[in-house]
Structure 1
Amino acid sequence: MGVAAGAAVWAAGDEPARAGRTGPPATAPVQRGDLVDTESVDGTLTYAGVRNVWTAASGVVTWTPARGAEIGRGETLVAIDGRPVTLMYGKAPMYRALGQGSAGKDVRALEENLKALGHGDGMTVDGDFTAATADAVREWQDERNLQVTGTVDPSQVVFQAGAVLVREAKAPEGGRASPGQPVLTVSGTERVVHVDLDADRQDLAEKGAKATVDLPGGTSVEGVIADVGAVAETGGPDAPTTVDVEIAVEYDGRFDEAPVSVELVAERREDVLSVPVEALLALRDGGFGVEVVEGAGSRVVPVAVGAFGGGRVEVAGKGLADGVRVGVPAG
């Protein structure tokens, strides 16, 4: 009730006013609808899925992409000894050489990519590496200026879930790459806001719930909570325990690793009557009321106060309905 009391003014009582009573300086309508109370937390605008990329290729790094470059299917992630390492889309890791007789999810992913890149008209995408698959591989290898063998080894291809955004070259040009050593740090291309949410406020974050993100410069975008960490973490003995929350946002601006403010829904009340908080009056005998304006007169109606949100407060009282006008301070 502290918020309400701070916004209230004292009324003479809760008895009906006489017809000649002077009305309030201004009025506002009682409204029926949803009332949402939010809580602001700090977050960071970034990209989804920051991770390292490894390759089975070993040798001298002869080309790396620039920071911020977007790399898609069939494009070069890095070049080792002058040979490109190609990005293909897939969830299975590229962990073995693939040739005729191979079968599995990695073969299917390879076939899907070859088809998407325009190779293998006679190839069936079924996870079995056939002679038609080998022909498609030869076409692709010739296009990429690779040795044309009809087989694919892990030094030639890296599978990722989709297009990636380069964040850092871990192995600079002129350096050496070797299996087990990351060559790039990348992320997805989707924008997200990361929040380290205090574990005791985890109730604020529900997967699928909406959130509002206030960006630098005064603009805001709507987001949806995409992931809530299942494990609480702490940064040290004196650091708070937090859970990771990721909020998906539609944003194509230039900001990256930018601090933002996130409005999370603390409480939602549906189909309730509400008035501006400043309409509340603290009654002489305790509790709260609102001044209902009727024609040239007004009367104070005691109300039960519920949830707060967006500068409004849920109320229930005799005679209150959508559209009834209540007194508020001027200005």
Structure 2
Amino acid sequence: MTAVVLRHPRTRVLVGGTVVAAVVVAAMTAALGFGGGESGATPPRDMPAATAHVVRRTLTDATSLSGRLDYGAAAPVVSRATGTVTWLPPVGSLVGRGGALLRADDRPVLLLYGTLPMYRALAKGAKGADVLQFERNLWALGYTGFTVDEKFTKFTTAAVKRWQHNLGLPRTGSVGVDQVVYGPGRVRVAQHSVRLGASADAQVLNCTSTTKVVTADVQTAEAGWAVKGTKVQVKLASGASVAGTVAAVGAGETGGSGDSGESSGGTSGGQGSDGESGSGSGSGSQNDTVKVTIAVTRQKALRGTDPGTVDIRYTAERRENVLAVPVVALLALAEGGYGLEVVENSRAGTGPRTRIVPVRTGLFAEGLVEVSGPGISAGATVGMPE
């Protein structure tokens, strides 16, 4: 192999972001009087202006993309109360177990936790899983004196009367479908769907979770890294970074339509919806995206951080225990590929000398490049550009 390097100035490859392979063509080589020698290392030449060492280390190719910090998708809250909406919680407020989601004819419609919708009235003698769900909530609110099971007994009735008394409601001992809305947990009011004075038997609110998450629409072709459990770093607008984990990978935009095609489960007094429409499998447009949701465990680190754009940094590739040199130390060889100018001590004590050694390149990351080849070892000295 013939290695060719121009002395004045020394020809090197500058790589930034995308590696541009500069190849010295054979015609130029002949015109400058190089080539035609024996294969192998080049003869001694001027010493490089600067040097660096070959190091052994782990290289990580990290990539960033833009995402958004918010509370996730909003879900509808559907009330089955009769009458007129007389009060709604302020947008941005939090509603927990036993809290009022609205008032209809000045009576509260309360949030309880559970997955079953409130599909029937509950009273003494009722049995079933919905009774168990209600009794668990009643017990969690501090009302005891009954057995938490699937039976609505006289003891449950007594506890319900105490609960109704504290709420300022008639002490009937039974619970109507218009009095309770079930949801998965505490919610944050995102939007009012009706105005005061509207019918209460309607979708009245849109609510989100109280937990902040990061979402990003990623080109499908570039989403190979987005696997549930993948660790990422999220850089906030303040400059601080927090750890995140890919929690879900779902459908995103298709064909640049601007519609995510994703619906969230509702918080409803009737049959709730819990659907998510996937992206179509038809055209496979280059504009197809996948929605990546990233969970942030340390929610305290997000306190005081308003919803907005964030940077998501993930590891695209990682190479452990490899030899690496600064990217700018690479030389373009006339016959193709890359080489390094290795500095060696002469045997006769006449001072150091250099030779060009061809190398194979691997991962480019962090301003370094993975290299390997005969004579390349950790601690070796290589030339750098002036």
TM-score class normalised by the smaller sequence? 0.7 to 0.9
| Residue 293 (structure 2) aligns with | 246
Please give the residue correspondences for 1:1-331 in structure 2 after superposition, counting only pairs within 5 Å: 3=17, 5-6=19-20, 15=41, 22=47, 25-27=50-52, 30-33=55-58, 35-120=59-144, 122-172=145-195, 174-179=196-201, 181-229=202-250, 233-236=254-257, 240-249=287-296, 250=298, 251-291=301-341, 297=352, 300-321=356-377, 326=382, 328=384
Q: What is the CA-CA distance between 1:313 and the residue it aligns to?
A: 2.7
Cα shift readout 1:228-250 (whole Å, capped 9, x = no counterpart)? 11576344399922222111124
Q: Distance in 2 between matches of 1:52 and 1:316?
A: 59
Instruction: Considering fraction of residues, name the structure with more strand.
Output: 1
Q: Distance in 1 between matches of 2:154 and 2:247?
A: 43
Q: Which residue type is aligned with residue 217 of structure 2?
A: D
Q: Which residue type is aligned with residue 66 of structure 1?
A: P
Segments of structure 1 that go 5 or more residues without pairing to the other structure are: none
Q: Distance in 2 between matches of 1:9 and 1:132?
A: 88
Cα shift readout 1:149-202 (whole Å, capped 9, x = no counterpart)? 221122221111111111112223x322333x2111110011112212222223
Q: What is the CA-CA distance between 1:207 and the residue it aligns to?
A: 1.2
Q: What is the CA-CA distance between 1:53 and the residue it aligns to?
A: 0.7
Distance change in 2, residues 1:268/1:50 (3 Å): farther
Contact 1:8 1:282 in 2 (8 A): yes
Between structure 1 and structure 2, the one with the greater Rg is 2
Tell me the SS of whatever aligns to 1:229. strand
Segments of structure 2 that go 5 or more residues without pairing to the other structure are: 1-14, 25-33, 259-284, 346-350
Q: What is the CA-CA distance between 1:46 and the residue it aligns to?
A: 1.0
Distance change in 2, residues 1:4/1:194 (3 Å): closer
Q: Distance in 1 between matches of 2:244 and 2:369?
A: 25
Cα shift readout 1:271-301 (whole Å, capped 9, x = no counterpart)? 4343443343333442223455678846554
Aligned length: 324
Tell me the SS of whatever aligns to 1:98. coil
Distance change in 2, residues 1:22/1:116 (3 Å): same
Q: Distance in 2 between matches of 1:272 and 1:177?
A: 69
Contact 1:8 1:279 in 2 (8 A): no
| Residue 11 (structure 2) aligns with | none
Q: Distance in 2 between matches of 1:147 and 1:140?
A: 10
Percent identity between the aligned chains?
42
Q: Distance in 2 between matches of 1:327 and 1:143?
A: 82
Q: Distance in 2 between matches of 1:96 and 1:292?
A: 83
Larger CA deviation: 300-309 vs 162-171? 300-309
Q: Which residue type is aligned with residue 124 of structure 1?
A: T
Q: What is the CA-CA distance between 1:28 and the residue it aligns to?
A: 5.2
Normalised TM-score (structure 2): 0.72
Q: Distance in 1 between matches of 2:343 and 2:125?
A: 85
Q: Distance in 1 between matches of 2:384 and 2:134?
A: 68
Q: Which residue type is aligned with residue 165 of structure 2?
A: D
Tell me the SS of whatever aligns to 1:223. strand
Q: What is the CA-CA distance between 1:41 and the residue it aligns to?
A: 2.8
Contact 1:64 1:77 in 2 (8 A): yes
Contact 1:70 1:165 in 2 (8 A): yes
Distance change in 2, residues 1:49/1:21 (3 Å): same
Larger CA deviation: 148-157 vs 260-269? 260-269
